[in-house]
Amino acid sequence: MPYVDTRTEIVVSPGEGPKRLDHFLANRDPDFSRTILQRLILDGHVTVDGQPTKPSHKIKPGDVIVLRVPRAEPLDIQPEPIPLEILFEDDALLVLNKQAGLVVHPAPGNWSGTLVNALLHHFKTGAGSFSTIGGKERPGMVHRLDKNTTGIMVVAKQDRAHAGLVNQFKRHTIDRVYEALIWGVPKKGQGMIDVAIGRDTKDRKKFSARTTRPKASATQYRVTERFDKLAAHVELFPQTGRTHQLRVHLSAIGCPILGDPTYGGKKVGAIRDVVIPRVMLHAKVLGFIHPISQEAMHFVAPLPADMAGVVHQLRGQRARDTMDVEKEQEP
């Protein structure tokens, strides 16, 4: 199905049981994610028997559903010459290693200086463009990383590639590995954090298990290095992709990510004399099937300099503590 200027009419067949409109459309055409369909429904581009409705509307046999996908509006976001570390690019997609401090897409308070602004400049000086599915503010954005999270991201340049990548994320077939430096050390060297989370009932800017709409979420972790009992270096393997999932899950086991005051409070801003410059979270590995060529793609980004610097300082602090203990034990 094309993604611009299309009109599709569907008559719900006899025997089709009551089902949410967004679920029905997503099952009918997996090229559209449910998020995209919900946006189209809420924007009035989907009607049932000639009337606009809600994503939760229950369809029934005989209903006439009309789905319109409008041509994307021109972007009014300005290109900006922000340096990018591009790992791979072809006509369908682009893979990059995002730096700390870079917001992914424009939003209130961040209408400039974002990854989208940087990519607009990159495409202006070279070949290519965004896919149109993400809309004006999030063109080509298949997934996102928080402002102070570094690491690998994939951006879609074609609608077909965008839909194919979204489908892989939806089916959890994307290979993702993160690295984090955390406060304290988990009781077990490895394990699974299985905690349903959603928007926090008391603070709408946060996510937690204290929610009225919990969504299943799971994160596998493995401790790779301990810095006495003060901190640890861990690898994280998200099994789901909820907002702030890794940050919430590590906080839930009493080991929030260093530099993350939202979920760890003031204590995670420093480990003794080691000052933590930002949230110590890095998207190390991203693997997926190229949605056009069907080739297996695998990318690895090394630990960024600021995180490597904190690791070096924590190791030095551990060595000094060991020496102090040995001196105390001398006769």
Local structure of 327: helix, strand or coil: helix
306: annotated active-site residue: no
Burial status of residue 330 (CB atoms within 10 A of its CB: 0-12, 13-18, 19 or more):
exposed
Options 22, 63, 146, 260, the catalytic residue: 146
Contact in structure between 47 and 92 (CB atoms under 8 Å): no
Contact in structure between 223 and 180 (CB atoms under 8 Å): no
CB atoms within 10 A of CB 269: 15
Distance CA 47, CA 50 (A): 5
Task: Tell me the C-alpha to C-alpha distance, in Å, between residue 202 and each of 107, 290, 323.
Answer: 23, 41, 46
| Residue written as token pair 């005989």 | 62
From 138, 191, 193, 194, select the one nearest 162 (Cα to Cα): 138
Q: Which residues contact 195 (CB under 8 A, 6 or more apart)?
A: 209, 217, 218, 248, 249, 252
Q: Which residues are catalytic?
A: 146
